[in-house]
Amino acid sequence: MTPTANNIDGFRMDTAGSNEPGGTTSLESWDRLGWWDSTLSALNNKLDIVQNSLVFFFANNETGNTPDLAGWARIELTQISTGIKLGTWDLTNNSATTYGPPPLGGGVPNGDPGAYTSTGAEPVVEDFIDSGNDICTDGSGNLVSCLGPYTNIYHENLGGDRAAYAIVFPELNAEIASLNALNFDDYAIHINYRLGCGPELTKAGTGSGDLGGFPTYDAPGNKTPCAENYALNGGDEKVFIGTSAAISQIPEPSSTLLTGLALLALGMVRRRLNR
């Protein structure tokens, strides 16, 4: 689940086979084109998800002076034999208009999953989170703007070999834990994620061209017509799956706090269960 380094505006899972396992042919009935898919049994064989909760890691490696990057993701869990969808979980911004680092973006209040319910609809520009900005806190650990007085600053643009974000979906892990591990062959997980600019629309308009509703910026020397604080601009962003066992091995207190802030401060874990 790794977009290669490039100067394109954005990365999207596609059905042409260039970045989706299996290419243009579904491997099984549950294998969706344009999604990353696995049975829970295969995932369990690799990660032991019976004993360890799933964690989604993201290494932000934006280049230049504008490390911001728009990001969005959706995870779904289905029962293969019946086709029933057990749940939809979004990594998204809960703010109607604000795109930016916390505490500006991420909804009000930040970190409140109950303030958002996924409808399963396609995302619009305002749904994208802002990855890559520094996060600042005051002496009590409260989120504050990095433009004003702060006590601690946590850097997120750490390069391709370090994952600043450790994203946990508690409701997804609870759903998996409620299933009988002996029947994991009958359940599939589906993951779709999007980085940078793409064809998504804005809530207020219809969008136009390949950039959809994302803002453009045509200053001399700009690598892309998309505004750089949204675009994928030549880094090597990595998205991969691990478990809570990996987080427990992080020794530095500052890194441990950062992995928590990556989820809690941005306030972007959302859920909807379909029964």
Q: Decide which of 266 and 90 is more confident.
A: 90
Would residue 34 count as lying in a domain? Answer: no
What's the pLDDT at 136? 83
**3 state SS of 257:** helix
Q: Decide which of 210 and 57 is more confident.
A: 57
**Most confident range, picked from 14-28, 59-73, 259-273:** 59-73
* 274: pLDDT strictly greater than 60: no
Would residue 5 count as lying in a domain? Answer: no
C-alpha to C-alpha distances, 187 to 37, 39, 51, 87, 206, nearest whole angstrom: 11, 6, 17, 12, 37
Among 28-37, 173-182, 260-269, the range scoring the smallest mean pLDDT is 260-269
Number of domains the chain contains? 1
Residues 179-195, mean pLDDT to the nearest whole number: 94
Per residue in 229-249, is it b (16+ CB within 10 Å) or e — as a string? Answer: bbbbbebbbbbebebeebbee
Would residue 27 count as lying in a domain? Answer: no
Among candidate residues 190, 232, 177, 150, the one with its CA nearest the CA of residue 31: 190
Q: What domain range includes position 175?
A: 10-20+40-252+261-272
- Give the distance from CA 175 to its chain's centroid: 19
**Most confident range, picked from 11-20, 47-56, 132-141, 231-240:** 47-56
Would residue 74 count as lying in a domain? Answer: yes
CB atoms within 10 A of CB 139: 10
What's the pLDDT at 117? 66
Would residue 4 count as lying in a domain? Answer: no
Distance CA 271, CA 251 (A): 31
Would residue 230 count as lying in a domain? Answer: yes
Distance CA 275, CA 259 (A): 32
pLDDT digits (tens, 9 = 90+) for 131-158: 877 778 888 888 787 888 999 888 777 7
Place of tokens 């209040």: 109
Question: For residue 106, what are its two tokens?
Answer: 């991420």
Distance CA 109, CA 125 (A): 20
Among candidate residues 83, 72, 69, the one with its CA nearest the CA of residue 29: 83
Q: Decide which of 225 and 247 is more confident.
A: 225
Q: What confidence category does residue 81 fall into, taking pLDDT thresholds of 50, 70 and 90?
A: very high
* 210: pLDDT strictly greater than 70: no
Would residue 29 count as lying in a domain? Answer: no
Would residue 33 count as lying in a domain? Answer: no
CB–CB of 61/235 below 8 Å? Answer: yes
Distance CA 239, CA 196 (A): 14
